[in-house]
Amino acid sequence: MWAVGNDGTGQLVAHAFARVGDRLTTQLEPVEQILLGQLIDELSQVLRRPEDADTPAVDPLARELGLEGLTGIAPEPPDNPIAARLLPDGYRDDPIAATEFRRYTDDSLRASKLADAEVMKAGLEAAADDPSGRIEIEPAEADHWVRAMNDLRLALGVELGITNESQIPPDPADLDEQLAGRAMLYDFLTWWQDGLVVALMGE
């Protein structure tokens, strides 16, 4: 078990993942479900791109390849630093190649990440209907959960100034109340994701 933090009444305790048959299970307290659900909503909002007022023309090559949803105009790199972390340039030293890469991958990458977030959110909502807070993850859902947790960690990392996996997260005691809460969630998600991966490996 792992202590997430303190809500004024005591520590919140999350349970590690366990394998039951071909499923993975864990438990969350109601407040933990709410906090993670809010994080997923924030993540989804960042990943959704506002629809353009005018429908852009379809790229001829995209039509030939059966990718009618692909437009001839490459989307601009995200201004939001969290979106920029989640949707990075494919080629940092080649702006032209980076633009083409984004044109062909931006929509599908956003959709994939949103799908991961939706799977995790659905699991949290199901847990909210269970008095024990039990979460069951089917085999087909596990990879979605791992990726969604990683995206949540990346988003929180931007807020906390964490730029790479080897960087030591800041001590919550050194931060203001809001960032301290984000730091504790970052630590929790790191622990939780690692536990899920270990459970998936059957260790």
Cα 184 to Cα 7: distance, rounded to the nearest angstrom = 12
Domain count for the chain, please give it. Answer: 1
Contacts of range 176-185, beta carbons closer than 8 Å, 24 or more positions apart: 181/5, 182/156, 183/156, 184/4, 184/5, 185/4, 185/5, 185/35, 185/39, 185/156
Cα 14 to Cα 61: distance, rounded to the nearest angstrom = 49
pLDDT in tens, the chain (203 residues): 444 444 444 444 568 899 998 999 999 988 899 999 999 999 999 999 766 434 444 455 544 554 544 555 677 778 899 999 999 887 777 778 878 888 888 889 999 999 999 999 999 999 888 888 899 999 999 999 999 999 999 999 999 999 888 888 889 899 999 899 999 999 999 999 999 999 998 75
Give me the domain span that covers residue 81: 30-200
Q: What is the pLDDT of residue 129?
A: 86
Residue 18 Ramachandran class (φ > 0 left, ψ -120 to 50 alpha, else beta):
beta
Q: Does the residue 18 lie in any domain?
A: no
Q: Does the residue 20 lie in any domain?
A: no
Q: Does the residue 23 lie in any domain?
A: no
Q: Does the residue 191 lie in any domain?
A: yes
Report how far Cα 177 is from the mean position of its chain's Cα atoms: 23
Distant-in-sequence, close-in-space partners of 99: CB < 8 Å, separation ≥ 6: 74
Q: Does the residue 6 lie in any domain?
A: no
Where do the DSSP E strands lie in 44-150?
134-137
Length of the chain: 203
